[in-house]
Amino acid sequence: GLVVEAVQFSDSRVYDRSSGACFDSPMLDRRVELPRAVVVAAPSPSEYFVADEPGPWRGIRVLGVAPSLGACGSVRGRVVERAGETALSDGVFEPAACELAFDP
């Protein structure tokens, strides 16, 4: 299934990263589903962060009703760019049993 890194990582072979600039997601404006994610932060009732593994490019902000911290499942949404940050808008989280290799 699709992973967070594929949604937000811009291939440095395509874009010159020497300036430190951010580039749009290769999936901008597409609806995507991340089949395996854990809620690692929920700064407000209408946004949260999910991750599928520890490390860079493995977490993403989701704009939608925030589930409980540590909830595991899948998330769907439309890929957007907000001030240089890739996010999912209209996020829908579907709880499911899953095991991840890290603690939120």
CA distances from 13 to 17, 56, 98 (A): 9, 18, 34
Percent of the residues in the chain that have a pLDDT greater than 90, as a whole number: 53
Contacts by 55-58, CB closer than 8 A, 24 or more apart: 57/4, 57/5, 57/8, 57/9, 58/3, 58/4, 58/5
Q: What is the pTM of this model?
A: 0.83
HSE-CB for 70 with a 13 A CA cutoff: 1
How does pLDDT run across 33-46, given as a tens digit for each residue? 999 999 999 999 99
- Please identify which residue in the block is written with the tokens 């699709």: 2
Kindly tell me if the per-residue pLDDT of 23 is higher than 90: no
CA distance 7 to 12: 14
How does pLDDT run across 26-75, given as a tens digit for each residue? 899 999 999 999 999 999 999 999 998 887 778 899 999 999 999 999 99
